[in-house]
Amino acid sequence: MKLYLLSLGAGLLVGIIYNLLQVRSPAPPLVALVGLLGILVGEQVIPVGKQVLAGTAFAAACEKTQAIAHVFGQLPGRHAAAQTKHVEEKQS
């Protein structure tokens, strides 16, 4: 139940921000996509920030928390490279 209330609260906050920016809801497609990108990046700020504050380099923190993979998903070409590496390891 707590998760639903937090989600409602976040939605209300976004609605207030949309009103202040004079964006109608549902937002135009480009505005909505930029907002979704902001959500994805925002989810990674705290985990990456904790790693950076602990002394880890930013690039290493992104890799350790898998922030890039979370935001961009499986990038083209990575899947094929991972399969090739897996096959090579099996053959060894």
Q: Which tokens hold the place of 51? A: 């790693």
Q: How many CB atoms lie within 10 A of CB 12?
A: 10
Domain borders along the chain are 2-73
Sign, CA dihedral 31-49-5-2, equals: positive
Task: Quick: pLDDT tens for 8-65.
Answer: 898 899 889 888 988 877 777 888 888 888 888 988 999 999 999 999 999 999 888 8
Q: Residue 21 in 3-state DSSP? A: coil
Predicted TM-score of the model (pTM): 0.57
Whose CA is closest to 66, among 84, 78, 83, 80? Answer: 78
Q: Which tokens hold the place of 17? A: 């921000």
Q: Residue 26 is which amino acid? A: P
